[in-house]
Chain A
């Protein structure tokens, strides 16, 4: 059964709910809200790291959805279209807050960036198999905002670098560079967390 045919309420597929919502059927709009609220809210929360902001942005995303749903042409999946709308709402909010387009800029001390990693003899310190969801979520929350945005967009939400570059107003190279820095920072955070946990035993 395709997504379009999957029933979202007795006798109503998502495609039908969308069509009816376009015509002003508010019950169908509420159905769509129920279907998509978790993913939109999670995106907002991961990108902002703040519950209150995430709720405000979720609200704004769905209000924009209500106003713009008539423009949805079905060229992409509805969830993709809504998701992109939500990302734009969050980015607009962050820009208004004064977050630089690519704030991604240097939040690390230069000496932390320069030089290769030289964990000679540390083969047993690889992370594989040692990350749990809670620790990873916490580590992501503690990333500097610019790093967090890029990481969420690419590694969690699945946007490609060319899409991120367009959204963020940066180059593809910059997107790749900042993603790398985000992952490096997460690696450090996760290793520290693991070491602290081991020390407590």
Chain B
């Protein structure tokens, strides 16, 4: 098996492992070995990415406005603060 043949099947075997011939090529070929190492490393690092940031406060304001427009909630008479929201929804 040469590199071209190995890399052609790589998308389908990278997670599950290949057959004997494919694994033999991987074990003996530094180019393909480095490639697989890099791709697995990228996947591993991606898994470690945390949720990035919060949406701006206006997202919650817009949600409140939409729910009020749809008649699902009524605006509260008294303004309150809960979790940083600027107005308290009332049922």
Which residues of A are interface residues toward B (Cβ below 8 A)?
Answer: 24-27, 29-31, 33-34, 37-39, 41-43, 45-46, 54-55, 58-59, 62-63, 66-67, 115-120, 122-123, 125-128, 131, 133, 136-137, 140, 151, 155-156, 158, 173, 176-177, 179-181, 183-184, 186-187, 190
Contacts and interface: CB of A to CB of B under 8 A. Distances in A.
B78 interface: no
B34 interface: yes
B20 interface: no
B24 interface: no
Contact of A126 (B34, B59, B67, B88): B34
B91 A131 contact: no
Given A46-B52, A118-B3, A180-B11, A128 B37 contact: yes
A136 B45 contact: yes
A117 B54 contact: no
B2 A116 contact: yes
A66 B91 CA distance: 13
B34 A186 contact: no
Given A45-B52, A116-B4, A156-B46, A26 B91 contact: yes
Given A126-B37, A128-B38, A55 B52 contact: no
16 contacts: A31-B82, A37-B54, A41-B59, A45-B53, A54-B55, A59-B63, A59-B66, A67-B72, A116-B31, A117-B35, A126-B34, A126-B41, A131-B41, A136-B45, A136-B46, A187-B38
Contact of A119 (B11, B34, B41, B54): B34
A156 B50 CA distance: 9
Given A55-B55, A183-B39, 12 more contacts: A25-B91, A31-B83, A33-B83, A34-B83, A42-B51, A45-B53, A63-B63, A117-B31, A119-B34, A127-B37, A131-B41, A155-B46
Interface in B10-58: 10-12, 14, 30-32, 34-35, 37-39, 41-43, 45-56, 58
Interface of B: 2-4, 6-7, 10-12, 14, 30-32, 34-35, 37-39, 41-43, 45-56, 58-60, 62-63, 66-67, 72-73, 82-85, 88-91
Given A27-B82, A118-B3, A127-B38, A63 B49 contact: no
B45 A116 contact: no
Contact of B12 (A131, A173, A183): A173
Contacts of A43: 51
Contacts of B63: 33, 59, 62-63, 66
A15 to B, nearest CB: 18
